[in-house]
Chain A
Amino acid sequence: MDRFRCLMKIKKTFLWPAAVLLFLALPLVIDSNYLISVLIVIGLYTIIVQGLGILMGYAGQVSFGHGGFFGLGGYAVAIMTTRYGWHPVLALLAAIILPGLIAAIIGRPTLKLRELYLAMGTMGFGILIHTMFNEAGELTGGPSGIAGIPYLTIGGLTFDNDIKFFYLIWAVVLLVLFGINNLIRSRVGRALRAISESEHAAETAGIDTGKLKLKAFIFSALLAGLAGGLYAFYVTFVSPAPFGFNTSVQFVLMAVVGGLGTFLGPLLGAALVVLLGELLRWAIPLVIPGAGGEYEIIFFGLILVVLMIYRPEGLGAFGKISKSPMEKTPAASDVGLPESG
């Protein structure tokens, strides 16, 4: 990187700290627990979709089982804290490690599958985990779930309100964002991109595709578990319902709407799906009194169809569509992304 580009970088770097600071100042300005919780939920989903984005967008593997990993994280926290009295931080660690371990075990055979079969394999896994939550009565509380999860405490700081949770979750989101930013610019990132373009070509080039796909799978499971653990601490109650197949589909939807293989796609996808849902929740009863989700889904579907027609590569793909001058800077190669997807 030459000196000129370094200077440019510093100059352009002004934009994002300003935006991030503005964003982080939101809780001080918006004095609304509701909006802060909406942002918390967006953050939680972003963490999962970031992992899923690596798996789908870079390693080119789809997963319809991430609701299961999300649930494993949630249940790990619930069981460890309420049944065994673990310290919340340890329980959160378990929530990250357990899904990772399980992903490592099932990853090898599952990732040998391709396309539709892989989708079905991961879907089966998700349903399996969901069934286990329902059936392991003694351990998971069966369909009634586990209540009374304590708040997360880290070194005397108890995360017992929405504002504290907002900062916790968005700190994690930003951390993951920059971790991934580094990852995709590294050797591993380029290798992953190669797999998504053509697995055979990548193998010919000497990339151990099996190992890399497994790594991406484990990484995405770790993130889903982390989000699940944080969810359990936030709601203080888990039951099998939020971790089913629908949830897995929703995560894939967020990843696709946001834009596969785009850096900010996960954030945009999660934000759009959650905000749209909330917007429609209050907007529709204003038009049709007493109406519920059955009308919401129509509007939701319409908006998604329109979006996919005009933005087939997802929201995060604005660099690819706009013909702004920044398109012509050598920045793209710097990031390690080819210009066309």
Chain B
Amino acid sequence: MSKLVKKIGLTLLTILLLIVGLIAGGCASSQNDAGSAGQAKEQGKEQGNEPYQIGAVIDISGNSSSLGVPERDTLLMLVDKLNQDGGINGHPVELTILDNKSEETEAVLAVKKLIEKNVLAVLGCSSSGPSMAMINTVQNAKVPMVSMAAASSIVEPVSDRQWVFKTAQSDIVTVKKIITYLKARDLTKVALLYMNNTYGDGGKAAFTTAAKENGIEIVAEEKFEASDKDMTPQLTKVKAGGAQAAIVWAIPPSASIITKNFKDMGLSIPLIHSHGVGNQKFIELAQGAAEGVILPIGKLAVASQIPDSDPQKKVLESYIADYQAKYNTQPNSFGGYAWDAFKLVVAAIEKAGPDRAAIRDELEKNTSGFAGISGIFNMSPQDHNGLGVDSMVLVQIKDGKWQLIK
């Protein structure tokens, strides 16, 4: 027993020491910030140079890193530019980006760390799960959060999510765009194929509801795994079902594989994909089979084709130019979500000042006609996404490129 007793004592002391280390190291600055935040703010008003803190929790590594990396790159580019241009009302902006490794528990810890740092708002996460996990924390701490993930449940019901906003289009926006296309061409019998994960699941749910409301019949419904290498069995059923069009809700590589199978089987009905295939990789992996595929997409991919009168045109072109200059590659829609989140928050701070509640109110009440990368944002107390059907356009793939459908 005595040995045991010593062991417990030593262990707890070790943990105490480690914690002291953590306080001394990582949190020393944030602790001081917390203590002197009030004074600093007072001084800041006179001198106009106290930095504004903004935090971001991004899926930089792990499963969703393909989303998180362009988001991080966009944020780093934007904050550099903002500070070069003099920051917000003369205040430089300090952006802290933390990685949640695409994990939910990590996201909760990361957002708490940021709140300790007295950030005015939190951007993130990249995917829906970690975003959902952070909601309880930001609601309790009363910190505005702008997610870049798709699931509509992140901002709904708004009554339980007053502090949460998001910049990625909800599934319903994509679905409405597809429904408009189907109705315009009088296609009433469709097949629905989706990948078996959060993305496919959300698309399937939204499409099923909308199809019912619009008198479109789903004659075949099939799912496949993200790791599947052949979807011929599912497509065979579609062929037999007498569908007039096939809707596929997936992301590459499985989206590319199903497109290849579709061509190989000689199916001639229109193949409509979701916005999940809105990157060049889809076309490459489909090896030519992507020709003729129709999909709704954010305007970023077809920025050069949209008319000059479009209020987003200027914003899109400058984002593409800046991103290409810095990273030597085309930006994608995920980076666009980060662009929107950052600019929305910066615009809100500019008007509301360094006050979390005022920033939230500003985001909700005064975000109207905001031309971003993903669309024109019109937030309201009922809608914390603020994007409508006009935020997307339909494109067809021709010669390996997106071609706007008029």
Binding site for B on A (CB under 8 A): 5, 8-9, 12-13, 15-16, 18-20, 22-23, 26, 30-35, 37-39, 41-42, 134-135, 137, 142-145, 147-148, 160-161, 177, 181, 231, 235-237, 239, 241-242, 263-264, 267-268, 271, 275, 277-279, 281-283, 285, 289-294, 296-297, 316, 318-319, 326, 329, 331-332, 334-335
Across the interface, A145 reaches (CB within 8 A) one of B62, B99, B132, namely B132
By a CB distance below 8 angstroms, the chain B residues around A278 are 22, 26, 109, 113
* B96 CB, nearest partner CB in chain A, Å: 8
Structural contact, B6 and A15, CB atoms closer than 8 A:
yes
A37 to B133, CA, bound (A): 14
Work out how many contacts link A and B, with CB atoms closer than 8 A: 201
A13-B5, A23-B16, A144-B128 known, 8 other contacts, Cβ within 8 Å: A142-B201, A145-B129, A267-B15, A278-B109, A290-B76, A292-B72, A296-B61, A335-B3
Q: Which residue of A lies closest to B161 (CB)?
A: A147
Q: Can you list 21 A-B pairs with a CB-CB distance of less than 8 A? A: A15-B9, A16-B6, A31-B34, A34-B27, A35-B22, A37-B108, A134-B196, A143-B198, A160-B140, A181-B4, A237-B136, A239-B133, A242-B105, A264-B8, A275-B19, A278-B109, A281-B98, A289-B76, A293-B101, A316-B11, A326-B3
Q: Which residue of A lies closest to B12 (CB)?
A: A19
Q: Is B115 an interface residue (CB 8 A)?
A: yes
Structural contact, B109 and A335, CB atoms closer than 8 A:
no
Structural contact, A264 and B7, CB atoms closer than 8 A:
yes
A318 to B3, CA, bound (A): 11
**What is the 8 Å Cβ interface bit string for chain B, positions 77-119, against chain A (1 contact, 0 not)?**
0000000000000000000111101111110111011011000
A50 to B141, CA, bound (A): 32
Q: Is B404 an interface residue (CB 8 A)?
A: no
Structural contact, A37 and B112, CB atoms closer than 8 A:
yes
Across the interface, B104 reaches (CB within 8 A) one of A242, A268, A279, A335, namely A242
The binding surface of chain B is classed by DSSP as: helix
Q: Which 4 A-B pairs have the closest CB atoms?
A: A292-B60, A292-B99, A293-B61, A15-B9
A166 to B231, CA, bound (A): 49
Binding site for A on B (CB under 8 A): 1-16, 18-19, 22-23, 25-27, 30-31, 34, 58, 60-62, 65, 68, 72-73, 76, 96-99, 101-106, 108-110, 112-113, 115-116, 128-129, 132-133, 135-136, 140-141, 151, 153, 160, 196-198, 201-202
Contact (A144, B153) CB under 8 Å given A239-B104, A275-B18, A294-B60: yes
The binding surface of chain A is classed by DSSP as: helix
By a CB distance below 8 angstroms, the chain A residues around B3 are 319, 326, 329, 331-332, 334-335
Across the interface, B31 reaches (CB within 8 A) one of A32, A145, A319, namely A32
Structural contact, A12 and B8, CB atoms closer than 8 A:
no
Contact (A143, B27) CB under 8 Å given A41-B105, A241-B129: no
Structural contact, B112 and A34, CB atoms closer than 8 A:
yes
By a CB distance below 8 angstroms, the chain A residues around B22 are 35, 38, 275, 278-279
Across the interface, A35 reaches (CB within 8 A) one of B14, B23, B61, B105, namely B23
Structural contact, B12 and A20, CB atoms closer than 8 A:
yes
Structural contact, B112 and A33, CB atoms closer than 8 A:
yes
By a CB distance below 8 angstroms, the chain A residues around B18 are 271, 275
Structural contact, A281 and B115, CB atoms closer than 8 A:
no
By a CB distance below 8 angstroms, the chain A residues around B140 are 160-161
A282 to B25, CA, bound (A): 10
Q: Which residue of A lies closest to B202 (CB)?
A: A144
Structural contact, A241 and B115, CB atoms closer than 8 A:
no
By a CB distance below 8 angstroms, the chain A residues around B68 are 292
By a CB distance below 8 angstroms, the chain B residues around A135 are 196
Structural contact, B132 and A285, CB atoms closer than 8 A:
no
By a CB distance below 8 angstroms, the chain A residues around B129 are 145, 239, 241
A282 to B29, CA, bound (A): 12
Contact (A281, B110) CB under 8 Å given A239-B132, A241-B104, A290-B97: yes
By a CB distance below 8 angstroms, the chain A residues around B201 are 137, 142-144
Structural contact, B99 and A293, CB atoms closer than 8 A:
yes
Structural contact, A292 and B2, CB atoms closer than 8 A:
no
Contact (A296, B99) CB under 8 Å given A34-B116, A147-B153, A318-B10: yes
